[in-house]
Structure 1
Amino acid sequence: MNSTIPTNLSHIDLISAEMHLNPAQIKSVAQLLEDGATVPFIARYRKEATGSLDEVAVSAIRDRLGQLQELDSRREAILKSLAQHGHLTEDLQTQVQAAESMSRLEDLYLPYRPKRRTKATIAREKGLEPLALAILAQTGADPIELAGGYVDPEKTVDSVDAALSGARDRWWNCCGIWPPERGT
């Protein structure tokens, strides 16, 4: 684990408590891993530094350090996103900082996660849903005439073709079928 993130002292204390080991052992293993040593090398040739930890213990320490660093990295990204979108409160920040697992962290972030913008969502925002529903109803009205009423440069619907294209995007999303092409 050639980590670019320095080992956090609270991580060492946490792993020490979880594994019932001396913090000095955890710190030694973390330092050796950061220096590029492999698990077998540490277990065989650095017994004096690790207090004779075997490969299983060294691997467990390496894996837990990686998990905690990933958790810290994700926590930082979530806090940045929450602040950027104006959702970050003191209470939420405290909860995110206190999250001890990735699943708890993601559960806290879920209600604030930015939603994916699909073509159908964009068409709905442009006001093209009624056009899609009118075409879908197949009342015999000419779709080109219907689309003419939805041309609005302020909503970036510059032409009849743009309106029909947006209606198709919305239609595809709500029905799961692609509408027939004009003239067929």
Structure 2
Amino acid sequence: MIFRWLFIPWLQKELDSYQHRINNSRKRSDKKKVRNTYVLPHGIPELIHRCAEDYGALDFKVTVSQEALDHVHHLYINDNHPVFDLVPPNLSCFIASCYDELGRPVVERGSIWSIYCALLDLVRLRNGLHPILVAIGDQPENDEELSLIPGLEDLHEVEGYLGGVGNGLGLRE
């Protein structure tokens, strides 16, 4: 759980940084690439995406307003659902207090493993972990039953195998 608490946010930050760097820098030309009759736009990908016409490209984007996205988010996503917790909330608070005790060191590629080891050692030494784990174990499972869309039916299971074409039976007439 400590690994998840520390590494997943760091990895997401690294991926976001990579995406930003790649999308906002010009690509070098490949001199070995065979020239094609169809020429793709050259330039910074983010600028080509925002202003396709400026690069002689057609813009096929479908624009969706932020209000529409927020509306769908509100309808279908419960931000407080446990599936969005990297670790159970009580344990997260406990790990955060241990991280505070370490002095909240900056998490970077060169330091993350030593921070993880120090945090793991500190959590093992701290009193109070057992009651948190017991409390987490006592929480009821959140097994909300998802109903099917009207007119659809559950997938049929065949001898413990579910998948493939025709649930593993191949194509049928």
Pick the structure with more helix per residue. Answer: 1
Q: Same fold (TM over 0.5)?
A: no
TM-score by length of 2: 0.22
More contact order relative to length (CA 8 Å, sep ≥ 6): 2
TM-score by length of 1: 0.22
